[in-house]
Amino acid sequence: MDMFEAADLVDVETTAIDIPTPFVDFDDYWTPFLGGTGSAPKYCMSLDEYMRNQIKKSIQAKLPTGPDGEILLAARAWAVRGRVRC
């Protein structure tokens, strides 16, 4: 908020916007990382196969997975509102 107040905004308010992002299973989650489009996929595809598989295994072990394999995550964006100081 300091950044917005430094820009002469007053009555600054922030709100989290959470968007459910369900994945059918781990492959549904992981496949976009193999596409090479975007920062994370480009980085992932720049790695050799061994390192990419190590990352895949590590992520797979840490993701919350339901009994049917479904992965439920939330994407978060922040909305900021303020008024210009008069």
Q: What is the pLDDT along the chain (86 residues), one digit of tens a residue?
A: 688 888 889 999 999 999 999 999 999 999 999 997 899 999 999 999 999 999 999 999 999 999 999 999 999 999 999 998 87
Task: Decide: pTM greater than 0.85.
Answer: no
pLDDT at position 69: 95
pLDDT at position 1: 61
Q: Which of 64, 65, 67, 33 is nearest to 51 (CA)?
A: 33
Matching residue, tokens 């993701």: 63
pLDDT at position 4: 84
